[in-house]
Amino acid sequence: MDKPLIMVSSVTYAMQGKELLRQYGIKSEIERTPKNMLRQGCGYSLRVLQRADEAEMILRDNGIKVLGRTERSRKP
> Can you give the residue ranges of every domain in the chain?
2-71
| Rounded Cα–Cα distance for residues 68 and 8 (Å) | 7
SS3 23: helix
| Rounded Cα–Cα distance for residues 3 and 62 (Å) | 23
Per-residue pLDDT tens listing for the chain (76 residues) = 478 999 998 999 999 999 999 999 999 999 988 776 655 556 899 999 899 999 999 999 999 999 999 887 655 4
| Rounded Cα–Cα distance for residues 65 and 24 (Å) | 18
First to last CA, the chain: 9
Structure confidence at residue 76 (pLDDT): 46
Compute how many other C-beta atoms are within 10 angstroms of the C-beta atom of residue 70.
16
User: So what CATH class is 2-71?
Assistant: alpha beta
Query: Tell me, what DSSP letter sits at residue 55?
Result: H
* pTM of the entire predicted model: 0.84
Structure confidence at residue 33 (pLDDT): 86
